[in-house]
Amino acid sequence: MNPQPSQFRLSCGRDRALAMVAAVATSSSLFVALLVCFDTASPDLWLTPSPALMESMANCDHYATRQGREQCKQHVVFAQLARERQAVQLARR
């Protein structure tokens, strides 16, 4: 009725191997799911440093106050993003 020691070791080793495979599969699937979620949640918002953009940003440095410089830079970024979105919409048509 009692299992032989060799059978118990074989069964225990098999269970460990199956548990390891299950753990690796679960971890991998969770990693892929998180990667996909973060990839779709945060689109690429980097601006390409074109000469026109760099000139616009340099013009913002002429403001006397820090607040003025920050507002100017925000307007430049928003304008550039609006142009890029418009270009994407035109390309989809």
The pLDDT assigned to 82 comes to 84
Helix (H) or strand (E) holding 82: helix 66-92
The pLDDT assigned to 3 comes to 56
The pLDDT assigned to 36 comes to 84
Is this structure's pTM higher than 0.75? no
Other C-beta atoms closer than 10 Å to the C-beta of 77 total 15
Q: Name the residue type at position 34.
A: L
10-residue mean pLDDT profile of the chain (93 residues): values are 57 84 96 85 70 89 92 91 72 62
- The DSSP output letter for 2 is P
Q: What is the CB-side half-sphere exposure of residue 28 using CA atoms within 13 A?
A: 6
Q: Name the residue type at position 25.
A: A
